[in-house]
Structure 1
Amino acid sequence: MTNPAVPLRSRVGAYLAGLVPRASDYALTRRTWRADLLAGLTVGIVALPLALGFGVSSGLTAEAGLVTAIVAGLLAAVFGGSNVQVSGPTGAMVVILVPIVATQGAAAVATVSVVAGIVVVAAGALHLGRAVSFIPWPVIEGFTLGIAVIIFLQQVPLLLSPRTAHAGDHSPNAVVAAGQSLTGADWSYVPWALGAAAIVAACMVVAPRIHRSLPGSLIGIVVVTLLAFLLPTPLAVIGVLPASLPAPVLPALDPASLGALLLPALTVAALAAIESLLSARVAASLADTGAYDPDRELVGQGIASIGSGLFGGMPATGAIARTAVNVRSGGRSRLSAIVHAVVLLLVVLIAAGPVGAIPLAALAGVLMVTAVRMVHAGTVRAILRSTRADALGFVLTAIVTVSFDLIIAVLIGVVVAGVFALRNLSRATGVHREPIPADPEPGDDGIAIIRFDGPLFFAAADRVFDTVTALGDDVTVVILRMSQLELVDATGARILSDIVQALERRGVTVLIKGVQAGHEELFRTVGVLDSLRHHNHLFAELPPAIEHARSHIRRSDTTSRTTP
């Protein structure tokens, strides 16, 4: 006798094995390790100013950004579902963290990171990784545009006064905060800050034109830092950084604080999942680096955020820009993302002092250029010129992202896209009266053949009902042709039942022809077939249905002639 528990254990084992690291993750490393090392070094250099800048912009510290890039970058590389994904702090996450820091305090971020990480791990374990495919492209681009605007505006306070170095000093809304910073601007400080940001921006623009491998952001930061060291400038700097990683500490998880932080944590989890899966999908299209596993990617990103929170960092996601740099620099295995984390760790261990002397205005310049590069004019033009529905979804998503909330923006964008998609799909539902395909006979004027085309679902139900039941009083037999019917939902089937009943009440005989095998069970369950006057009124072919309809006409004529 077989043990029924054995197959179950096997399935569970295979399920869990698909979500954890395995030796095959490094199958390419023997051939690509040299390119991976170089790519990891390149990405580490690129990621350094971004990690510092996103840490400061979030209302936390540069240290928090570095810790996140190191810990989350390493864990996501090992446990994630992509061979080339590079993870760490991102601009989209900063946008969500700013109001959390402003309302709950900086200490709450670690708790949010851990709770959000647990939620993301659970989403991966429940196989929700494919859900991102339901987000339309215009919504994604509108979301990206809104994030870019917010990142750019978040840097304005850093350039107007050394006293507004942290986002928590102003409203959590970037537009409002930028306006507030103007009222407290230190105009003796502004020229220095703008000059520093301009130098960094110029280096980021010019360096790639000289050689594509030159790290313009790092060069610009080095130049500005040296100038700040040599000249008596008022520029605010990062400050003292620890020369090692902090010890892991379990954040406060008491019920009182969890209640207030649950909704922010769910928002962070949703963003972490969406951005990471989008980044992994983009990475898979950039080069032949192997397919990515979306469910394992969620598990890896959740573990990364949990680890980051334990070390005092912030929630992490896959970073599209850094991932693209990794692939274009030759990264082909997880080794490159691991090296990127090691490079940043060495910066903390060896160069904490010089890094602490970097002016905040230089980081603002890096993030402003990064924000501008997130938006591609050609993409915006293409979407705005595509369809009204897509253009509206794009614009609404961008506006709501900047004005209110990122996740609400994505939901609104998806709903708008869904509404227009349903409208267009409902228009594809065809209801046509067609002539009898045979030599006409007396009484054929009383027969109506109605052909259904395309999908029949809730959005088209009322229109179909009104069209069919509006037949003239001269019609005594109706043949409903179903062979061209595609998708049918319960509402569509129910409306067919209502049509049959409405016509039969008027004395019209209804015949149904060509019910597809895939629809038959639904039609029986909802009552379409039971609505027919007789079970002989269901046909597989049209000629027998027409002959049966003519027999009804002949009997009706005979009855009318014999009736006094």
Structure 2
Amino acid sequence: MSKPIVQASSFTPLQPVHAPSAPGWKAELSAALEGAAFTVPLSLGSVMVVYAALGPTIAASAVLVTLIALALLQLSAIGAKRPVLYSARFFEATTAAEILRHAIEHLPQWGLGDTPGLRLALLGLLLGVSGLVMVVLFVLRADRFSRHIPQPVFSGFSNGIAVVLFMSQVHALQALFEGGRASAPDLVAVGGISFVAGFAVRRWLPSWPAAGTSLGLGLLLALALASVGHPVDTLGSGHGVVFAAPFQMADWHGLAGARDPMSLLTWMAANGSLLGVMVFINTTVASQAMSHIDDRPAESQPRLLWTGLCTTAAGIAGAAPIAASLQSSLAASRMTRLNSGVMLSSAVVLLLTAVSGFIGWIPLAAVAGTLLCEAFYTYDKRSVRLVRQWAAGALLDRQAREDLALIAVVTATAVLVNMVASVVAGLLLGLLLFASRHLLHPVRSVSDGTQLASNCARSRADLQVLAEHARALRVVELEGDLFFGTMDQLDRGLRAAMEGASCMVLDWAGVRNVDSSCAQTIAKFQKAAEVAGVGILHVDPAASGAKVAAALLPILRPEQVAPDLDRALERAENHLLAERSGLTPQHGHAQAHGHMDQATLFVGMDECEQALLESMMTRRHFRHGETVVHAGEPGDSLMLMLEGAASVMVRTEGGHEVRVAGLRRGAVIGELAFLDRSPRSATVVAQDQVVVAELPREAFDRLSVQAPVLVQKLLANIALYLAARLRHTNRLAAVRRSRRS
């Protein structure tokens, strides 16, 4: 059973899905039908928004042209490296309608009469210019910059579109009431059932196509009303649609007779460019999102140019603004991976829908009810939550305040001025916000084991292994706000750092915020690392904030997460030791005894001396959580850690226990207190099953008399151990100081 798609609206991106590997024409046809269930109703609604000022007859023809144009675009995607489905969209449709409304106001200034033919010519020219702008942007590879538009800009667009859709459809219903062909109760019933159906589907059946279900039920009710003598207005007046492309009805000759052609051309170039930028942004963002989900490469330049030319021709012919649709593409991807078969099947489904005349039976009241439901679900929920928190007096962090301010400006501009001004303000302010937040690369630094090491005490043998293979340990420090626009940089940086590594630590301490695309990138990177045999550890994302933790912790295994950088480094070093020296984390006396001769305290001793010293030491076992030594107790013994792991804890002035270091096999415990006879300065707690060899002071004193040479070697080894630890600590402090600076 396929995983449901979670949809907020036709404008809000859907949650990513993982397509089943179901080959064959049946799966491809099912995918095409799934995509069409989203594409057809949304394209229909978008056409009605654009052609609201031109009447339902012309709108019906525009629907057919739009469906045919979509079918041709799907056919052109056969053989593409990165196929996506296309659709007309409310974002561009609302803007195009607003531009057309302003153009109508300028007709007297240009010396043109206000006729349906001239309006059609203006619209066709506007959409043709926007398509040519897409071609130019593809040539300039401007897709590299589209990902840098922050999400709050799109949130503002969502809110503005919701308001504009609501106002336009209320006006459309009012026009239907005043038309008088159908009674008010019939119109309310058709529009109301469509609205309720769309709302119910989104609320309780999120995997269903809400707009398609809404229009379908509205159509059934309208047919039922017509059967008892209560007809309602439809796109084709109930008798299908006679095909006549809008460009055939456009008054191109009249447009050429403008009194001030330069002013007309300037206006058209400016607004066509703006609309073209919007279509381009949504097309590239949808394509990049699909590539991000299924790891397929970006599309080739010639095919992108061909797509732009097809969009240009479609706009001139009278189709609504068309862009790549993430919603339709993801819906189809539930059934199978997008491929040439899916593109061909989608084109056939759209062509059959166009020529069947079925669209002509859809009631206009059902379209209005569906779009009112879209308006209700299009607004950005997060921005409303932020407004409520702000109104309630909650303290918002800096990023939330910046986001809310940007959303408010874009939304207010759309409502108080128009969508065109909203787009201009949103793009400019969004790029400024991006520049202020994301001038830095998401990967701040990459260090290896020669530059960074844990504060864990180990045997000299282990330290030697770590020194030999230190460059195979990588520490990647991340920073900033990691969102969709920075994911390519993040992925490239992580994969570059993985070259030649055996284990990597990702430090999230400098990250302020992440989104779902970051979690997807990390999940894919971890799979690639697993295939390459590279261990991945994370410094606990929760330390960077609740948002970072909420996005990342669900995709991380508990054993991958360390509370802090020091413990993450310690685990990475253990991974490296296990890999390079063939050790396994076993416990027990036999394992401990086998490594006794490699321990720090026995270096330089012959077999007799080692045997004598070992005979003076007592083995002790500690379970997880037990205290090995207590701070403040007399330092009357010296311990050598044979197996397990332990933490060195100190108590702060506030009474909190803080971990300052780790201890592993070969580490010496209590050497300072043993030498200067002072109380122990820290508590050592076993992290798992720990085995130590303890040398009591009485035994040490007897050895001083019986074997002074052995004791001299023992003290020399302790001095060398302390010197090595001091050098290690100094180097670690210097490196971490330089990283902070």
Stretches of structure 2 lacking an aligned partner (at least 5 in a row): 1-19, 105-118, 390-395, 440-478, 480-741
For 1:484, the equivalent position in structure 2 comes to none
Q: Secondary structure at the match of 1:88?
A: strand
Q: Distance in 2 between matches of 1:227 and 1:128?
A: 51
Q: Distance in 2 between matches of 1:377 and 1:225?
A: 33
| Residue from 9, 18, 43 that aligns with 2:35 | 43
Q: How does 1:189-268 map to 2 (within 5 A)?
A: 189-207=183-201, 209=204, 212-213=207-208, 215-233=212-230, 235-239=232-236, 241-242=240-241, 246=245, 252=252, 254=256, 256=261, 258-268=265-275
- 2:380 is equivalent to residue 392 of structure 1: no
Q: Distance in 1 between matches of 2:206 and 2:430?
A: 42
CA drift of 1:119 comes to 1.5
- For 1:203, the aligned partner's letter is A
Q: Secondary structure at the match of 2:156?
A: helix
For 2:541, the equivalent position in structure 1 comes to none
Q: Distance in 2 between matches of 1:300 and 1:406?
A: 28
Q: Distance in 2 between matches of 1:224 and 1:306?
A: 38
Q: Distance in 2 between matches of 1:198 and 1:187?
A: 18
Distance 1:311 1:228, change over 3 A: farther
Q: How does 1:425-464 map to 2 (within 5 A)?
A: none
CA contact (8 A) 2:61 2:245 kept: no
- 2:465 is equivalent to residue 413 of structure 1: no
C-alpha deviations, 1:488-511, integer Å up to 9, x for none? xxxxxxxxxxxxxxxxxxxxxxxx
C-alpha deviations, 1:381-429, integer Å up to 9, x for none? 3697552112101111122123334453244235445556677799xxx
CA drift of 1:120 comes to 0.8
Q: How does 1:333-482 map to 2 (within 5 A)?
A: 333-350=339-356, 352=357, 354-378=358-382, 380-381=384-385, 385=396, 386-417=399-430
C-alpha deviations, 1:426-484, integer Å up to 9, x for none? 9xxxxxxxxxxxxxxxxxxxxxxxxxxx9xxxxxxxxxxxxxxxxxxxxxxxxxxxxxx
- For 1:71, the aligned partner's letter is A
| Residue from 292, 308, 314 that aligns with 2:320 | 314
For 1:55, the equivalent position in structure 2 comes to 47
C-alpha deviations, 1:133-186, integer Å up to 9, x for none? 221111122112212221232211222232778xxxxxxxxxxxxxxxxxxxx7
CA contact (8 A) 2:29 2:342 kept: yes
For 1:91, the equivalent position in structure 2 comes to 90
- For 1:293, the aligned partner's letter is E
C-alpha deviations, 1:495-554, integer Å up to 9, x for none? xxxxxxxxxxxxxxxxxxxxxxxxxxxxxxxxxxxxxxxxxxxxxxxxxxxxxxxxxxxx
Q: Distance in 2 between matches of 1:164 and 1:227?
A: 23
Stretches of structure 1 lacking an aligned partner (at least 5 in a row): 1-27, 166-185, 427-453, 455-564
CA contact (8 A) 1:284 1:291 kept: yes
Sequence identity percentage: 21
CA contact (8 A) 2:386 2:400 kept: no
For 1:161, the equivalent position in structure 2 comes to 175
For 2:287, the equivalent position in structure 1 comes to 280
Q: How does 1:4-43 map to 2 (within 5 A)?
A: 31=23, 33-43=25-35
Q: Secondary structure at the match of 2:349?
A: helix
CA drift of 1:363 comes to 0.8
Distance 1:420 1:226, change over 3 A: closer
CA drift of 1:238 comes to 1.1
Relative contact order, higher structure (CA 8 A, sep 6+): 1
More helix by share: 1
Q: Secondary structure at the match of 2:234?
A: coil
Q: Distance in 2 between matches of 1:111 and 1:298?
A: 21
Give the RMSD, CA atoms, in angstroms. Answer: 3.9
CA contact (8 A) 1:70 1:88 kept: no
Q: Distance in 1 between matches of 2:425 and 2:350?
A: 38
Q: Secondary structure at the match of 1:409?
A: helix
CA drift of 1:32 comes to 5.5
Q: Distance in 1 between matches of 2:206 and 2:278?
A: 35
- For 2:39, the aligned partner's letter is A
How many residues are matched? 378
CA drift of 1:98 comes to 1.7
Q: Distance in 2 between matches of 1:125 and 1:343?
A: 32
CA contact (8 A) 1:35 1:331 kept: no
CA drift of 1:64 comes to 0.8
Distance 1:199 1:31, change over 3 A: same
Q: Distance in 1 between matches of 2:126 and 2:279?
A: 12
CA drift of 1:260 comes to 4.5
Whose radius of gyration is greater, 1 or 2?
Answer: 2
CA contact (8 A) 2:149 2:434 kept: no
Q: Distance in 2 between matches of 1:416 and 1:365?
A: 34
- For 1:412, the aligned partner's letter is A
Q: How does 1:56-205 map to 2 (within 5 A)?
A: 56-59=48-51, 60=54, 61-75=59-73, 78-79=76-77, 83-102=82-101, 103-104=103-104, 105-162=119-176, 189-205=183-199
The two structures have a TM-score, normalised by structure 2, of 0.45
CA contact (8 A) 1:85 1:280 kept: yes
The two structures have a TM-score, normalised by structure 1, of 0.58
C-alpha deviations, 1:51-72, integer Å up to 9, x for none? 2222222125032133223314
Q: Secondary structure at the match of 1:394?
A: helix
Q: Distance in 1 between matches of 2:359 and 2:432?
A: 50
CA contact (8 A) 1:75 1:300 kept: no
Q: Distance in 2 between matches of 1:422 and 1:248?
A: 42
Distance 1:97 1:356, change over 3 A: same
Q: Distance in 1 between matches of 2:169 and 2:381?
A: 22
CA contact (8 A) 1:79 1:299 kept: no
